[in-house]
Structure 1
Amino acid sequence: MVSVLDSTLREGEQTPGVYFDKHIKLAIANLLDEVGVDIIEAGHPMVTTEIKEAVESIAKKGYKAIVGAHSRSLKSDVDLALECGVGFIGIFYCVSEERLSNVFKKDLPSAIQQITDVINYAKTQKPNILIRYTPEDTVRSQFENVVTAASAAVEAGADIISVADTTGYMVPGTSRSMYDYVSRLKDELNKKGLNPKIAVHCHNDRGFALANALDAYRAGAEIIDASVLGLGERAGIVDLAELLVVLTADFGESKWNLLKLNELYHLVSKHSGVPIPANYPIMGANAFTHCAGVHTHAASINPMHYESLSPDLVGRERHFALDHMSGIASLRYALKLIGENELDDELQADVLKEVKSVGQRGRTVDLTELKHIVDSCKHNKTFKQMSK
């Protein structure tokens, strides 16, 4: 069964302009634990004192989820993470020849020595700590370097190797397939008698983060990183709600409390300042709203004519929007909802005409306004009859 690591509080704060106050971080972590994510990546304690205090507060909450911290391959970073009382440390260091030579001025053996020394140190300080090693920008690094570094990391005590698509480079169904990459990496490690859990961290630069994560899942990855609203560097990472709903509805991984997602998303949206787009899958205002006349007519009879997911899955409701696209069937359905199902055909036509007029001004008509339109049309009809 796959595990999900939520990185809203770490990767999410790498979204430009996003920062969560400590009490909001705790509230987000509370909801993440209620949703049932397996690992809450609470932050990078070395970044600021406030982040360290927040990580420590979350780690001491006693969640069912494992609370983790981010760490460079430095003992000082590990010390701060351990001081926070976390049960998971994510250690990263690149193995790309270009970056090693141009940025770090190191060769691969020196980099691997630094990685393994830090992992050994962390395990010595706290033997039961879960260690994830990430070769930064994994998929664009030389594969042989990734295998060599990952093997050394596991032998030093790493429990998890994360495949990072740091720039959203992978494309399903091509030579840059995440399915192929994860399969190949697992095979190479298995040949060496090494069986770490494989995690994936997929960025969304090309819009393929979720598709790549699912490719990795199909290839046997055991951990998938995600965040609320897909928050993260540039175009962000895998969206948590989309991931959990697809794993539940399409892959039978039914272990999460999806009914808490709506509360979680509105909390994160409010305090990140990032609105939930109306057309966003699962959590957007229009995700379960039917508009066009043909759609609303069919959906009012059987929603599955124009839905492949039920809003009940995430505790939301189905809506029928009235605007310039509406037809008489959708109007009649809405009239029934407000107790106005006895209008004659002429009045219904008048009401529909007014609804379409409002829609052409770029608005939708909700049930409250529909009631006002009905009252107005009734009044106009009465006035015309009295004027004859």
Structure 2
Amino acid sequence: MTVQTAAAPTARTTAASAGDDKNRIIIFDTTLRDGEQSPGCSMNLEEKLKVARMLDEMGVDVIEAGFPIASNGDFEAVREVAAIVRNATVAGLARATLRDIDRAAEALKGAARPRIHTFLSTSPLHMKYKLQMEPEAVLQAVVDSVTHARQYTDDVEWSPEDGSRTEPDFLCRTIEAAIKAGATTINIPDTVGYATPEDYAAIFRMVLERVPGADGIVLSAHTHNDLGLAVANALAAVQAGARQVECTINGIGERAGNASMEEIVMAIRTRPDAYPYHNDIVTQHIMKASRLLSSVTGFQVQPNKAIVGANAFAHESGIHQDGMLKHAGTYEIMTPESIGLTKTNLVMGKHSGRNAFRTKLRELGYDDIGDNAFQDAFQRFKDLADRKKELFDEDIVALIDDSVAQEYDRIRFVSLGVMAGSIGSQSAQIVLEIDGDTRWAQTGGSGPVDAIFNAITKLVPHEAKLQLYQVHAVTGGTDAQAEVSVRLEEGGKTVVGNGADYDTLVASARAYIHALNKLLVKREKTAPEALTA
């Protein structure tokens, strides 16, 4: 598949050719790998393919598609992503073992531009307690793993896990060994988000000064946000010589997350005086990518999130509003249009047809949703329009996110009836479609929501514990849609589900069902030892 976009390149920079342009930053997206390791986040195959197509379309250079050895599902996902992505390099992660590398190579066979990304811990803490290996054995494993990976592809990336806490001399030794063995990209991860910008930049300067051959390969930054410094650290690394940045859409990832792609890209675009670098990201796709990821993972973006949060371009202060009316530049350092937010006068209501609805979706950045999701969203839009006086863009976004999220679900909501109130008992009757079969159940509970969840559990037995139930209004007014978030935990695995509807109880049922569908995907995954990088 070749994506034709005016601003997007048809052939992307590889590690081997990056040296031709000293100010070009390679954008390495690990949403499908490190991002999916975020507690509560999981994607099925079709959802991963949607995200991969989006990343390829927006100009990402390298898509880390997964960890093939982790599960059969991860292997299939990497293989399918490799088959459909034509512009970006597709990377598969592998520990420093021959079995992992062989599995990654097998998954990447169909890639137009494959990369094997292998890693091994190098910090004293990790070597002693996690690996239980002596430094010399680790050094030999680095050489063996990179050498083995080079048998499959010329594009090999190596990462010293917990690199920011590795002793400088040993870090330089391992990087030198990896380069001599054939690594074309060296990633130095701040695995636990411990570094400060000054610390992290100093590591890259040291490597360039002390390691023979470091100036002939690509140095990469992979930062975590445990101290809220992921983006700052990544940009500091770029200023110190890194020419690849590893990041995720919306900053999702393990623990506090990874560096946010949209923040890094827009910082470079907005402040060329401080960051005189460039990349090939089509920034007008940023909002669309953010919304797509939120809909398929169930992870909603907080309103005050930089670049893509609902409040990022909102101005409530009277002083700010006055300035904006006189000149937008008084309080906006970038335009909403630059990230794909468009202003529209197209009013939607109960008389709007399918063509008008589809046009509205395109304006909101949803121009490639599946037919099933479109039909479901359109019917729910018509139902909502019959009940709600005013329809806002936020209403339609909530409907689309909910419909897209459930497009490939094995468990699907059909209908719900609830008995509630202060007189008599509370009960719920629910109808679900499970793997194509329609089933129903009726149960009671200590309140309507409890009754609904009990009825769903009767049809889909599980041992998951409810950790979070949260409701908020999509817009203002008593006729606002409700958006519900549910977090479930089973056997140490956490999932998050979202649901939206003008009826809060229906939204609750949809959210719980969405979470259960995510749990079915999560059950297939087995995390190998030393999963992080």
The aligned residue for residue 210 of structure 2 is: 188
The structure where strand makes up a greater share of residues is 2
Aligned pairs for 1:105-254 (under 5 A) are 105-124=132-151, 126-128=152-154, 130-173=155-198, 177-190=199-212, 195-251=216-272, 253=278
Change in 2 beyond 3 A, CA 1:98/1:281: closer
- Secondary structure, aligned partner of 2:228: coil
Cα contact 2:53–2:85 (8 A) shared by 1: no
One-letter amino acid of the counterpart of residue 163, structure 1? I
Question: Which stretch shows the higher mean deviation, 96-105 or 196-205?
Answer: 96-105
Partner residue, 1:326: none
Write out per-residue CA displacement over residues 296-315 of structure 1, whole angstroms, 9 at most, x where no aligned residue.
11101101111111112112
Q: Which moved more, 1:193-202 or 1:1-10?
A: 193-202
Q: Is the 8 A contact 1:73 1:118 kept in 2?
A: yes
Change (3 A) 1:363 1:161: closer
SS at the partner of 2:221?
strand
State whether residues 172 and 211 of structure 1, in contact with CA within 8 Å, keep that contact through their aligned partners in structure 2. yes
Change (3 A) 1:105 1:255: closer
Contact 1:289 1:318 in 2 (8 A): no
Cα distance, 1:193 vs structure 2: 7.0
Deviation at 1:83, TM superposition (A): 0.7
1:328: which partner in 2?
Answer: none
Aligned to 1:72: 95
List runs of 5+ in structure 2 lacking aligned partners: 1-23, 345-472, 481-533
1:1-388 alignment, distance < 5 Å: 1-84=24-107, 85=109, 86=111, 87-124=114-151, 126-128=152-154, 130-173=155-198, 177-190=199-212, 195-251=216-272, 253=278, 255-317=280-342
CA distance in 2, matches of 1:213, 1:194: 19
Q: Deviations along 1:89-112, whole A, 9 cap, x unmatched?
A: 111101223332333232111111
- Give, in angstroms, the shift of residue 294 of structure 1: 1.4
Q: 1:244 to 1:149 in 2, by over 3 A?
A: same
Distance 1:62 1:239, change over 3 A: closer
23-32 vs 111-120, which moves further: 111-120
Give per-residue Cα distances to partners, 1:116-163, cap 9 Å, x unaligned.
Answer: 112111212x242x1111111001011111111111111011111111
Partners of 1:217 and 1:226 lie apart in 2 by: 13
Helix, strand or coil at the partner of 2:302: coil
Aligned residues: 319
CA RMSD of aligned residues (A): 2.1
CA contact (8 A) 2:185 2:219 kept: yes
Deviation string, structure 1 residues 340-359 (Cα, Å, up to 9, x no partner): xxxxxxxxxxxxxxxxxxxx
Query: Given the superposition, is the C-alpha separation of residues 271 and 75 from structure 1 closer, same or farther in structure 2, using an over 3 Å criterion?
Result: same
Does the 8 Å CA contact 2:91/2:116 hold for their aligned counterparts? yes
- Retained in 1: the 8 A contact 2:197–2:237? no
Compared with structure 1, are the counterparts of its residues 305 and 144 closer, same or farther at alpha carbon in structure 2 (3 Å cutoff)? same
Please say which of residues 310-319 and 180-189 is displaced more in the overlay: 310-319
Q: CA deviation at 1:287?
A: 0.7
Instruction: Return the TM-score normalized by structure 2.
Output: 0.57
Q: TM-score under structure 1 normalisation?
A: 0.78
> In the superposition, relative to structure 1, how do residues 299 and 23 fare at CA in structure 2: closer, same or farther (>3 Å)?
same
User: Partners of 2:335 and 2:178 in 1: how far apart?
Assistant: 44
SS of structure 2 residue aligned to 1:206 = coil
Contact 2:121 2:131 in 1 (8 A): no
- Retained in 1: the 8 A contact 2:207–2:214? no
Note closer, same or farther for the CA distance 1:363–1:313 as it changes in structure 2 (3 Å cut).
closer
Contact 2:208–2:214 (Cα < 8 Å) also in 1 = no
What is the DSSP-based 3-state SS (H/G/I as helix, E as strand, rest coil) of the residue aligned with 1:204? Answer: coil
Q: Secondary structure at the match of 1:60?
A: helix
Distance 1:364 1:105, change over 3 A: closer
State the distance in 2 between where 1:195 and 1:16 align: 37
The Cα offsets for residues 179-235 of structure 1, whole Å up to 9 and x where unpaired, read as: 211111111114x67632100100001101000100001111010000011111100
Counterpart Cα distance in 2 of 1:11 and 1:54: 14
The structural deviation recorded for 1:172 is 2.8
Task: Supply the AA of the counterpart residue of 1:88.
Answer: R
Judge conservation of contact 2:288–2:340 (CA < 8 Å) in 1.
no
Q: Which shifted more, 41-50 or 57-66? A: 57-66
**Whole-Å separation in 1 of the counterparts to 2:190 and 2:130:** 19
Counterparts of 2:55 and 2:327, CA distance in 1: 33
Q: Separation in 2 of the partners of 1:227 and 1:90?
A: 17
Residues 196, 229 of structure 2: 8 Å contact kept: yes
Cα shift at 1:45? 0.5
Tell me if structure 2 keeps the 8 A contact 1:151–1:194.
Answer: no
- For 2:144, the aligned partner's letter is D
What is the one-letter code of the residue matched to 2:224? H
Query: What is the SS of the residue equivalent to 1:290?
Result: coil
Offset of residue 244 of structure 1: 1.2
SS at match of 1:235: coil
More helix by share: 1
